Structure 1
Amino acid sequence: MTTKILKNKGISLLLVLIIIFSCIIAPVQPATAAASNKIKIYNFIKLLVPAVGLEADTTANSPYLKAALAAGIVKEGDFKDYKADLTRVDAAVLLNRADEYLNGDKVDPELLAVILEKRISDIKKIPAGKREAVGKVYAKGLIVGKSNGMYIQNRAFNGYDYLTTADAKKVVSLLTNTKGRAKLSPDGQLIRTTNLPKNAKSYPYILEAFPNSFYEMKYQYQLATYTWKPVEGKDYASSAKITTAMDSLEIDKTGMCIYVDDWMKKVENNLKYRLNVDYRTINSTWVNNLRSTYFVYKNESSNKKTTDDIKEYMNYVKKNQIVIKSSVISVEPSSLYFDQSYRVRAYVKFKISFPGEKKVQEDLFFARQTIYLPGLSRDKWFEGIYDIELATGNGSSNGSDFAIFDDSLNDYYYKGE
C-alpha cells in the first residue's frame, strides 16, 4: 500500500513538473517563430536586385547592397544597420525606387495627392520625407495597407510593423507582375473583383470597403411608376452610365461633370453638420456652414426661409439640450446616378442624446424633406444608407451651382445593414 501511494505521488509530481516546464517554455516558441518571419533589410535588398534585372558581383563584399547603391535603389545614409528588421515604411521607400528604376515614375500627381490626403489614415505617423514613397506604392497597388472597417474610405498603412519574408517575396514579385497588383478606383480606393453584387454592372466598379447590400439597394428611379417607357441617358442613368446624362453640364474628357467633387463635398458637409450637433456649442457659424450646402432659389424669400428654418432648429437644439454625434459619414462618388436630378449614396452612423421625455423624431434633426428612422433609440448608435439629391434652380447651369435639394433620411424603402 505504501509503495503504491509513493508511486502515485511520484507520478503526480512528475505531471506537475511537466506542466510547469511547459508553461515556461511554450510562450517562447511563438516569439521565436515571429522573429524568424521578419525579413532583414539586407535580405530584402537581395530580393530587389535580381527582380529589377541588376547583376551583383558575388565575389565582392555585400554584393547586392553595392548593386542597389549603384542603381540608386539604396542611398547612402538610408540605414545604420542592414541586419535590422525591415519596417513597412522602409520597404515602401526601397520598393518605390526599385519600381521607378524598372518602370519609371508614372503615378498621377492628382491621384497621389488624394491618396496622401484621404486614403492613408495614419500617414501623419510616417516621416515627412517618406510619405511620398508610401503614397506611390499605395497608388501602384504594391502595398495598400489594412482595412479600417466596412464603409471606411481609408486604410491603415501600419508603417512601423515589420515586413515578413513571405510578404516581402510577394511585393517584390509585383514589380514585374503588374497584373497581380491591387486595383484602385480613380480616387484611390481599393476595388473588389470577387463576390460582387447582383447588379455590379450598374456601377463603374465595386469597392472593397462597401458590402453588396450598399450596391443592391434600389435606385430611386427603380421605385418609380412610369406612364411611359423611360430612356436611359434621358430619363435616368445608372452609376455606370452617369456621363450619358451630363451633356448639358461642363464636362472633362471622360464625360464627367468637372464639379462632381464639389457636389460630393457639399453632401459630406451637409451630413457632417446635421449629424454633429451640440446644444452647448451650436452657433451662427454652424448655421452658415449648413446653409451653404443647400439649394439656392431664385426667389430671395425662399432662400431666407431655408436660413430661418435652420436658425429655428438651432434654437430647438439649445432648448432641448440635443447632442448628435456621428462616427462615420461615407459619401461614395461612384454611386452617383440620375433620375431627373442627381443623387449620391451615403452611409452614416450616428447617435443622438437628449434629456427628458421622448420627442417627435422630425424635430430632432434638421431636414428640408423627410426624416423617418424606425428603430432609432436615444444614446444608441444608428446606421443607415441614404440617397441625397443635388439640383439647381438655374435651368442653364453648367453644374457649378448644384447643391442639396432632397436631404431625406428615410428608411421607408431600405434600412442599411
Structure 2
Amino acid sequence: MQKGYVSGYPEGTFQPEKTVSRSEFIAMLIHSLGQASDTSTTSPWYTPYVNTATESGYYVTGDFSSDDWNAPLSRQELARIAVRVIGKTAKDNTEYMYMATSNGVLSGTGKGALNVTGTTTRAQTVTVIERISSILQGETLPVDALAVANAQEAMNAPKDPWGRAVRTTNLPKNAKDFPYILEEYPNEMYELELPFKGITEPAFKISTPAELYKTDTLIQNKKEMEKWKDNAEAYYKLLLNVDYRTINGKWATDLYSHKNQWNSVGLEEVMDYVAWAKKNKIVTEGSLVVEPSMMFYSRIGGYFIRAEFSFRIKEYTEYNEIFDDIRFHSHQGLDNLKALGKFQKGQWYHGYADIVLSTNIQDGIKRVSNTATLFNLSTIIHKKN
C-alpha cells in the first residue's frame, strides 16, 4: 500500500485474503509499473488499464477463460501476464507456468502444488508484483524447487487438442470414462455424480466422454466443440452477471439468442426475468467455463457438458429467483446443497455442474436448453475463501 499501487477499502481495511479480480490485478500491475493510462475512457473503470496492458503486450485476447473482467483472477491467468511483464514468453499455459515458477514469480501453494485454477488473494498479488519489480531491477529470485519440478512435468506431459497438459497420476476413480484427464481440473470435477443415476431403462443410458470421443463425429470435431463452448459460456456470462440498473431488453434478446429456440420457454419469459431483476434490485457477478472433453449423451437427456463456475450475489430485496435458472428457487431443498442454505450476499461460491445442450433451429449448434440448471441433484458448490 505504501507504494501506491494497491489501495484499501473505504472503511480503511486492506483485506489481504480477499480474492482479486482480473481487472483489479491489471490496474494494480499498471500502477506498479508507473505506466500512464489514457483516462478519457472510464467506463468500465478498468478500461484505461486494460488498454495499456494490451498495448504493452502484457495482456492478449484469449488469456482468460472468459472475457469477464470482474471474475476472480486464476493463478494460470496471473502466470501468463506476469511472464510477459518480465520480458519472456511461452507457447502454452504449461510453459507459462514453468516460466513463472522457474523465474521465482510464483511459488507452489503447498508441497509445490501449482493449483492453476486457484484464485489469488490481495496479499498474494502484492507479493507477485513485488517479485516482478525485483526481476525488472535485475535481481535473481529464489524459486520453489518442487513447484518448478511440477511445472516442468506438466509442460512435458502429453497435451490434448487444445494444447492443455494431460495428467497420468493421481487420477479420478472414474478416469476410464474420459478420453483423458486434464492437469487443470481436480478429481472432484471428474467424479461429479451423473444424472439419471440408478435408472436402468435403455433410453436413460449415458454415453461417457470416452465413448463419444470414439464414436461421435460431432464430439471429434474440435471446431464444432469450440462453437458449443463459446455459445454456452456467452449464455452464462449474461445469466451470472446482472445489474438491475443496466439490465434491459438487449440483455434479454442476447441471452435468448444462446438458448435452444425450439424449446417452449420464449423471449417473453426472459423479459419477465428482466422486469423482476429491476423490481428486486438484483446485482450478481460470476463466470462459467465448459469443458469439451467432459461431454455426455443420453437418448432422453441429450447432450450435457460439464462446467466449472463461480458467482456471488451482491444485492437483492427478496431472496427469490436471483438467477434466471429454473431450479434456483428450490436449491435449498436439494440434499447436495442443503448445507449451504441461502447464498450469502457478497460471498463467492465455486462449483461444478452439467449443462444440458440441445439442437437449435437456426444453425445446428447445440445451444443451452431451457432445462439447463446450475442447481441440480449432482451439482457441487463450495464457498470460496
TM range (shorter): 0.5 to 0.7
Alpha-carbon separation, structure 2, partners of 1:187 and 1:144: 21
SS of the aligned residue for 1:190 comes to coil
Aligned AA (1:135): K
Residue 228 (structure 1) shift: 4.2
SS of the aligned residue for 2:293 comes to helix
1:364 aligns with 2:322: yes
Partner of 2:23: none
Contact 1:245 1:338 in 2 (8 A): no
Max Rg structure: 1
Partner of 1:256: 221
Residue 193 (structure 1) shift: 2.5
1:135 aligns with 2:91: yes
TM-score by length of 1: 0.54
Deviations 1:347-371 (Å, cap 9, x if unpaired)?
2221213344x43x4x221135665
Q: Select 2:314's aligned residue among 353, 357, 377.
A: 353
Counterparts of residues 184-223 of structure 1 (less than 5 Å): 184-221=159-196, 223=197
Residue 135 (structure 1) shift: 2.1
Partner of 2:201: 227
Alpha-carbon separation, structure 1, partners of 2:95 and 2:186: 23
Q: Select 2:266's aligned residue among 306, 309, 314.
A: 306
Q: Select 2:350's aligned residue among 383, 389, 403.
A: 383
SS of the aligned residue for 2:313 comes to strand
Partner of 1:336: 295
Alpha-carbon separation, structure 1, partners of 2:117 and 2:92: 24
Contact 2:349 2:381 in 1 (8 A): no
Q: Select 1:239's aligned residue among 181, 185, 209.
A: 209
Aligned AA (2:270): I
Alpha-carbon separation, structure 1, partners of 2:279 and 2:144: 60
Deviations 1:88-129 (Å, cap 9, x if unpaired)?
xxxxxxxxxxxxxxxxxxxxxxxxx99867565454555599
Contact 1:371 1:408 in 2 (8 A): no
**Which stretch shows the higher mean deviation, 140-149 or 188-197?**
140-149
Contact 2:327 2:375 in 1 (8 A): no
Alpha-carbon separation, structure 1, partners of 2:200 and 2:144: 57
Contact 2:166 2:183 in 1 (8 A): yes
Alpha-carbon separation, structure 2, partners of 1:409 and 1:140: 32
Alpha-carbon separation, structure 2, partners of 1:215 and 1:128: 34
**Which stretch shows the higher mean deviation, 345-354 or 268-277?**
345-354
Aligned AA (2:216): M
Alpha-carbon separation, structure 2, partners of 1:137 and 1:324: 29
Unmatched segments (≥5 aa) in structure 1: 1-112
Partner of 1:410: 375
TM-score by length of 2: 0.58
Contact 2:231 2:258 in 1 (8 A): yes
Which of 1 and 2 has higher RCO (CA within 8 Å, sep 6+)?
A: 2
SS of the aligned residue for 2:380 comes to coil
Residue 241 (structure 1) shift: 1.9
Kindly, what percent of the aligned residue pairs are identical?
Answer: 25
Contact 2:80 2:93 in 1 (8 A): no
Aligned AA (1:134): A
SS of the aligned residue for 1:280 comes to coil
Residue 269 (structure 1) shift: 1.6
Partner of 2:283: 323
Contact 2:231 2:367 in 1 (8 A): yes
Residue 342 (structure 1) shift: 1.2
Alpha-carbon separation, structure 2, partners of 1:151 and 1:383: 10
Alpha-carbon separation, structure 2, partners of 1:122 and 1:179: 14
Alpha-carbon separation, structure 2, partners of 1:164 and 1:144: 12
The 1:136–1:331 alpha-carbon spacing in structure 2 relative to 1, beyond 3 Å, is: closer
Unmatched segments (≥5 aa) in structure 2: 1-59, 66-75, 107-113, 120-124, 333-340
The alignment's C-alpha RMSD in Å is: 4.0
Contact 2:83 2:99 in 1 (8 A): no
Residue 333 (structure 1) shift: 1.9
SS of the aligned residue for 1:192 comes to coil
Structure that is richer in helix per residue? 1
SS of the aligned residue for 2:312 comes to strand
Aligned residues: 273
Alpha-carbon separation, structure 2, partners of 1:215 and 1:388: 14
Partner of 1:42: none
Aligned AA (1:225): I
